[in-house]
Amino acid sequence: MHSYTLTISCPDRVGIVAAVSSFVAQHGGFIVEASYHTDQESQRFFIRQEIRADSLPFSVTELRARFALLAEPFKMNWQISDSAVKKRVVILVSKQDHCLNDLLHRWRSKELEVDIPCVISNHEDLRSFVEWHGIPFHYVPMQDKPVAFAEIARLFETVQGDVMVLARFMQIIPPDLCERYAERIINIHHSFLPSFAGAKPYHQAFQRGVKLIGATCHYASAELDAGPIIEQDTMRIDHGDSAEDMVRYGRDIEKTVLARGLRYHVEDRVLACGNKTIVFR
């Protein structure tokens, strides 16, 4: 179904839902899904509405222009997405291919409705695999990191990327890039954050004798592995599992958590709230 998705974050007050719903109704709009949440700590209100495109008598451009007049007095941060325009996902990867493989499978099977204009890597290992899918592959060596990340940003802008996905890209994104693309860089970290941030989290977990391991999909931020969390999952292990077993088990969690987190993002189900997220599933 062709639809427009309206997402809003604004200071909480009386009348927000009434104003937005009345606006849609006045133009004959048919709301097929609606979600609301008040964050008590920040006193901000969050809305996500899906509106049938064919129920409105004008284009999405006109919808945005008209809604801007309503949004101003409520001091809304808002956007309207058109489901007919697929999000453009640029994937960054190093040598491990399980997350990349899973995303490309979901993309080829149309389970994940996005465009993938390119894959960027700091190794050549996965070139043939990516190009077999008909996707351009860009090798960016990391000997000079400022130059390398400038090239990654240039490629991202050239292909008009909407979101950058770190599918086990084993490099730390510089703070200036995290700020430039805030809430547009999605990372998968192989632990249940905030536990075991940084390198080799499964080995850290093994040393601590944990009984649960997990993975975390989050937005990249200037502080390593501390950005707003989108999605998490865990699985139970026991004393007989080695660190290598944990790595093997963890791959399954990582790829499913990343796929879910990316889906929530491209469907405009994730709204930032400070260093937290509101996720309308």
Instruction: Cite the active site residues.
Output: 225
CA–CA dist 260, 22 (Å, integer): 32
Amino acid letter, 157: E
SS3 state of residue 209: coil
Q: Which helix (H) or strand (E) holds 272?
A: strand 270-273
* Residue pair 191/201 in contact by the 8 Å Cβ criterion: yes
SS3 state of residue 133: coil
Q: How many helices (H) and strands (E) does the chain have?
A: 8, 13
Alpha-carbon separation of residue 121 from 92, 170, 257, 281 (angstroms): 6, 10, 21, 31
Q: What are phi and psi of 247, to 5 degrees?
A: -60, -45
17 Cβ contact list (under 8 Å, min separation 6): 36, 47
